[in-house]
């Protein structure tokens, strides 16, 4: 297995020094945001994690290797190339075998992080149960991964391109803890509220770290979701963004977009229709998640 995994020097050093490490995904870079904001976001988020006492490890597939920690030129490659594969669990072995460039989703980043023994992972939003899933059966592989792989994912909830109540039901069925950070509601990515009540809330990062510790000690399989709302000042108006999301979902239906293309299509439509306002909020919320994710990882490392 080791032959497929390559740590950057920074991550290698962090491992030897037993420093807390925070994983980052690459689909958010290559299929979630336009260039050059995507690469700037990736670099800023890494720096935020360093500034809060942890070491960032952005994960991607390059030249037949799972890279844990990317150099700036590798981040640039993922941000710019138009032949980057979107890699979920299903695609992992194929893209490595074919030595293609692959961007990892939440699901595959969790797998790779677990292979490298990294316990915390920061992103923007997780995939979920899509609207109309009764017909399409479109449920992100992220959700099943969360039930299998022991990595804690810090995110701003999920976008309301998804069916949020069904996403929560699915996670409950699969036994995945979803903990609101200083919130009692599932955040809806661009907005702090979704109307979906959560079962657990933590008001301090130390409380989250100690829940992680017990879960690891008990060897309970699967991950956890830490739902951290976008800062008040950066959130979008709910009615405004809901209209735009509804239009984007309709357009995807009309164009027959489905499968792995669905989420990237919706994300880019939303950026287009908001004249970039959604992108600014998206970047702010990932940065905010990076702060909290690094704090949780640091707290955990002291237990
Ligand atoms: N949601 C976002 N931004 C993203 C994604 C989701 O707000 O970039 C990406 C993540 O990589 C997530 C993936 O794992 O989309 C989910 O894709 P799908 O719905 O095809 O499983
Ligand atoms: Mn899907």
Q: What is the CA(271)–ligand 1 centre distance, in A? A: 15
Q: Report whether 106 belongs to an annotated binding site.
A: yes
Q: Whose CA is nearest to atom 16 of ligand 1?
A: 127
Q: Distance of alpha carbon 153 from its chain centroid, rounded?
A: 7
Q: Report whether 163 belongs to an annotated binding site.
A: no
pLDDT for residue 134:
95
Mutate to test the pocket of ligand 1, among 28, 31, 122 (most ligand atoms within 8 A of CB): 28
The pTM of this model reads 0.98
Q: Distance of alpha carbon 83 from its chain centroid, rounded?
A: 21
pLDDT for residue 157:
97
Q: What is the CA(32)–ligand 2 centre distance, in A? A: 14
Q: Which atom of ligand 1 is nearest to 86's Cα?
A: 11
Mutate to test the pocket of ligand 1, among 90, 263, 268 (most ligand atoms within 8 A of CB): 263
Each residue's pLDDT expressed in tens, for the chain with a length of 303 residues: 899 999 999 999 999 999 999 999 999 999 999 999 999 999 999 999 999 999 999 999 999 999 999 999 999 999 999 999 999 999 999 999 999 999 999 999 999 999 999 999 999 999 999 999 999 999 999 999 999 999 999 999 999 899 999 999 999 999 999 999 999 999 999 999 999 999 999 999 999 999 999 999 999 999 999 999 999 999 999 999 999 999 999 999 999 999 999 999 999 999 999 999 999 999 999 999 999 999 999 999 999
By the 10 Å C-beta count (0-12 exposed, 13-18 middle, 19+ buried), 73 is classed as: exposed
By the 10 Å C-beta count (0-12 exposed, 13-18 middle, 19+ buried), 83 is classed as: exposed
> What gap in Å lies between CA 42 and CA 44, rounded to an integer?
6
Q: Which atom of ligand 1 is nearest to 25's Cα?
A: 11
CA distances 53 to 1, 166, 207, 270, 299, Å, are 30, 36, 18, 34, 10
* 213 part of the active site: no
**Ligand 2 ion local residues (Cβ < 5 A):** 138
* 159 part of the active site: yes
Domain 2-236+282-301 CATH assignment equals 3.40.1790.10? yes
Radius of gyration of the chain (CA): 18
Identify the residues whose C-beta falls under 6 Å from ligand 1.
Answer: 25, 27-28, 32, 88, 105-106, 124-125, 127, 140-142, 159, 189, 260, 263, 267
Q: What is the CA(167)–ligand 1 centre distance, in A? A: 14
> What gap in Å lies between CA 183 and CA 7, rounded to an integer?
35
Closest-CA residue to 23 (of 1, 4, 8, 38):
8
Residue 62 — left, alpha, or beta (φ > 0 → left; ψ -120 to 50 → alpha)? Answer: beta
Q: Which atom of ligand 1 is nearest to 107's Cα?
A: 14
Q: Where are the domains of the chain?
A: 2-236+282-301
pLDDT for residue 160:
84
**By the 8 A CB rule, do 294 and 46 touch?**
no
């Amino acid at each position: 297995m080791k032959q497929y995994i390559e740590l950057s020097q920074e991550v290698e050093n962090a491992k030897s020094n037993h420093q807390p490490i925070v994983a980052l995904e690459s689909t958010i870079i290559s299929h979630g945001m336009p260039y050059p904001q995507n690469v700037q976001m990736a670099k800023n988020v890494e720096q935020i994690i360093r500034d809060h006492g942890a070491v960032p490890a952005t994960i991607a597939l390059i030249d037949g290797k799972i890279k844990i920690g990317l150099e700036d030129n590798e981040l640039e490659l993922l941000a710019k190339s138009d032949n980057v594969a979107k890699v979920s669990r299903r695609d992992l072995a194929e893209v490595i075998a074919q030595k293609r460039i692959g961007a990892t989703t939440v699901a595959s980043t969790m797998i790779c992080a677990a292979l490298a023994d990294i316990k915390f992972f920061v992103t923007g939003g997780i995939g979920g149960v899509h609207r109309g899933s009764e017909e399409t059966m479109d449920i992100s592989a992220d959700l099943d991964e969360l039930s299998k792989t022991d990595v804690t994912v810090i995110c701003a909830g999920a976008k309301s391109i998804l069916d949020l109540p069904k996403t929560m039901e699915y996670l409950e069925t699969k036994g995945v803890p979803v903990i609101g950070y200083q919130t009692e509601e599932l955040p809806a990515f661009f907005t702090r509220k979704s109307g979906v009540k959560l079962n657990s809330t933590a008001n301090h990062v130390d409380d989250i770290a100690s829940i992680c510790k017990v879960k690891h000690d008990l060897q309970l399989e699967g991950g956890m979701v830490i739902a951290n709302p976008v800062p008040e000042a950066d959130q979008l108006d709910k009615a405004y963004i809901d209209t735009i999301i509804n239009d984007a979902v309709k357009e995807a239906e009309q164009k027959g977009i489905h499968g792995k293309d669905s989420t990237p299509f919706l994300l880019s439509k939303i950026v287009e229709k908001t004249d970039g306002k959604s992108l600014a909020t998206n970047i702010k919320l990932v940065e905010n998640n990076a702060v909290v994710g690094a704090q949780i990882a640091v707290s955990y490392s002291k237990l």
